[in-house]
């Protein structure tokens, strides 16, 4: 019985065991023969799980490109662009549909989220690295309801951040 059902005890079925697989590939494509620090690389990350009934996310893929020393003399700097996709499991989407049907509330069925990201790691000092980052996220959370606008999903969003690494 669905947890969304009024006849449900509200206690989720307990499972034993869980696992997922993932793989990471990172390959340099080009290196400047005059400046070894100046290079272009690609990367990909792939994750999946066969356990659709116990994981919110059952598949994810990220890929991108990095450029080391994007400007002459900035040997410790890196520019990056990435893309990603995350799939929400079919069991979660089924629960969303059950909640909508059984409660009459607006509960969109979650499916997938995609993003594109730009980042720049700037070595400000020998001991300090600053990394601004901007992302555009399409279908955040796989299509969650927007609590600020009843009856709609959360819209596509821009996200910005700044990471600081301090080296001792």
Contact 53, 94 (CB under 8 A): no
Cβ neighbours of residue 2 closer than 8 Å, sequence gap 6 or more: 8, 94, 95, 98, 102
Q: Is residue 22 part of a domain?
A: no
Q: Is residue 7 part of a domain?
A: no
Contact 115, 87 (CB under 8 A): no
Q: Is residue 124 part of a domain?
A: no
CA–CA separation, 90 and 108 (whole Å): 13
Task: Identify the burial level of 89 via C-beta atoms within 10 angstroms of its C-beta, where 0-12 means exposed, 13-18 middle and 19 or more buried.
Answer: buried
User: Which domain, by its residues, includes 36?
Assistant: 31-57+70-82
Q: Is residue 12 part of a domain?
A: no
The model's pTM is 0.85
Per the structure, how many domains does the chain have?
1
pLDDT reported for residue 48: 96
Q: Is residue 78 part of a domain?
A: yes
Q: Is residue 149 part of a domain?
A: no
Per-residue pLDDT of the chain (168 residues; tens, 9 = 90+): 777 887 888 888 788 888 999 999 999 999 999 998 999 999 999 999 987 778 899 999 999 999 999 999 999 999 999 999 999 999 899 989 999 998 898 999 999 999 999 999 999 999 999 999 999 999 999 999 999 999 999 999 999 999 999 999
Q: Is residue 39 part of a domain?
A: yes
CA 146 to chain centre: 19
Q: Is residue 145 part of a domain?
A: no
Cβ neighbours of residue 133 closer than 8 Å, sequence gap 6 or more: 117, 118, 119, 160, 161, 162, 163
Number of Cβ within 10 Å of residue 142's Cβ equals 22
Provide the 3-class DSSP secondary structure of residue 76: coil
- Give all strands of the β-sheet with 35-48 in edge-to-edge order: 21-32, 35-48, 57-68, 78-88, 112-125, 128-138, 157-166
């Amino acid at each position: 019985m669905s947890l969304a059902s009024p006849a449900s005890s509200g206690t989720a079925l307990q499972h034993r065991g869980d696992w997922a697989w993932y793989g990471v590939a990172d390959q340099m494509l080009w290196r400047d023969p005059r400046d070894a620090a100046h290079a272009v690389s690609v990367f990909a990350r792939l994750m999946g799980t066969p356990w659709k009934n116990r994981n919110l996310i059952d598949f994810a893929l990220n890929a991108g490109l990095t450029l080391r020393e994007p400007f002459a003399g900035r040997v410790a700097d890196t520019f990056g662009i990435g893309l990603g996709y995350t799939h929400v499991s079919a069991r979660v989407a089924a629960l969303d549909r059950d909640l909508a049907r059984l409660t009459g509330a607006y509960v969109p069925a979650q499916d997938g989220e995609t993003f594109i990201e730009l980042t720049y790691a700037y070595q400000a000092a020998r001991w300090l690295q600053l990394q601004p980052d901007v992302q555009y996220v399409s279908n955040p959370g796989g299509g969650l309801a927007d609590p600020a606008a009843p009856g709609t999903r959360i819209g596509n969003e821009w996200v910005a951040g700044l990471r600081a690494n301090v080296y001792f």
